[in-house]
Amino acid sequence: MNLEHLTLLAGKAVQETAVFIQAETGKVQTGQIEEKFLNGLVSYVDRHAEEMLVERLSRLLPEAAFLTEEETVEQQDADLQWIIDPLDGTTNFLYGVPHFSVSVGLKAGDELVLGIVHHIPQEETFYAWQGGGAWCNGQPIRVSQRGEMRQALVATGFPYHNFSRADEWFAALRAFMAEGRGARRFGSAALDLAWVAAGRFDLFFEYGLNAWDVAAGAVLVREAGGQVTDFGGGNAFIEQRELLACNTAVFEKALQIVQKHFKTA
């Protein structure tokens, strides 16, 4: 399997889907919005975008199964599996906040080997494949070189429906705010990870995440030279539904903070 070629072809499918989503911006009516769970919004745009991706990616890799947010296709586990969030940042999209993305990852066996995140309003495509480095619109990207926590710009996601670890999250955020340069929450975990890969953020942490939120972004960060772990420092960030992504220079300090406040060590 030629991962570079596959990434470029999948990127075209992502960009075609992004054109549809951008064309629907501002058109969704209140009656066309559903609440899947507390603060979990969905519309016909999410579902049609997912159908577009599934159809196009199926042609590229017919043997692959799918794990998708909107479940418009049968969900199966297989040696090859596409992991798709057709519209990460749906609330931003529906409220007119120009920060939402398409996220597509590919898992081969137990490894994430390909990732694409497209920032729709800015027309930026971040992509990476195993061993191929990380890229944005044809230019190589790397994690930041800022080497001290006091220089670090931190990204996170506020709890919005899963409040089971909110106290731990607030404690960790307080520590990052006290020791870092500032904190940001923009509402698309996929884009947060892409921006860590591009050196715009120095680290990202969040709990309560799904595989489709982080699969593509994790590949981007690792191929850009960064670290991606669960809060214990291991590789079970999808299973544990928690993720820390950093440049290598601040990783140890960031890991100490999340381990202390999320009581993983």
Q: Which tens digit of pLDDT belongs to each residue from 23-49?
A: 998 888 777 877 665 556 778 899 999
- DSSP characters for 53-70? HHHHHHHH-TT-EEEESS
Helices 211-223 and 189-197: crossing angle in degrees, nearest 10, is 0
Contact between 128 and 103 (Cβ < 8 Å): no
pTM score: 0.93
Q: How large is the average pLDDT for residues 97-120?
A: 97
What sign results for the dihedral spanned by CA atoms 40, 239, 217, 229? positive
What ranges do the domains of the chain cover? 3-140, 149-261
Helices 3-23 and 44-60: crossing angle in degrees, nearest 10, is 160
Contact between 185 and 158 (Cβ < 8 Å): yes
Question: Residue 263's pLDDT is what?
Answer: 75
First vs last C-alpha separation in the chain = 40
Strand partners, 104: 84, 116
Q: How many residues does the chain have?
A: 265
Q: Tell the CATH topology of 149-261.
A: D-Maltodextrin-Binding Protein; domain 2 (3.40.190)
Question: In sequence order, which ranges of the chain are alpha helices (DSSP H)?
Answer: 3-23, 44-60, 90-95, 166-179, 189-197, 211-223, 237-240, 248-261
- Which tens digit of pLDDT belongs to each residue from 148-175? 999 999 999 987 777 889 999 999 999 9
Contact between 145 and 249 (Cβ < 8 Å): yes
Same fold, 3-140 and 149-261: no
Question: Residue 203's pLDDT is what?
Answer: 97
Amino acid at 30: T
Q: How large is the average pLDDT for residues 239-253?
A: 96
Q: Report how far residue 102's alpha carbon sits from residue 10's, in angstroms, rounded to the nearest whole number.
A: 12
Q: How large is the average pLDDT for residues 243-264?
A: 93
62-to-55, 78, 81, 82, 85 alpha-carbon distances in Å? 10, 12, 10, 11, 19
Burial class (CB within 10 angstroms; exposed 0-12, middle 13-18, buried 19+) of 77: exposed
Q: How large is the average pLDDT for residues 64-75?
A: 89
Closest CA to 222 of 84, 106, 130, 92: 130
> Quick one: 3-140 is in which CATH superfamily?
Fructose-1,6-Bisphosphatase, subunit A, domain 1 (3.30.540.10)
Amino acid at 57: L
Question: Residue 97's pLDDT is what?
Answer: 95
Question: Residue 265's pLDDT is what?
Answer: 44
Largest CA distance in the chain: 50
Q: Report how far residue 205's alpha carbon sits from residue 153's, in angstroms, rounded to the nearest whole number.
A: 12
- Which tens digit of pLDDT belongs to each residue from 109-132? 999 999 999 999 999 999 999 999
Chain mean pLDDT for the chain: 93
Amino acid at 142: R
- CA 130, 131, 132 angle in degrees (round to 5)? 95
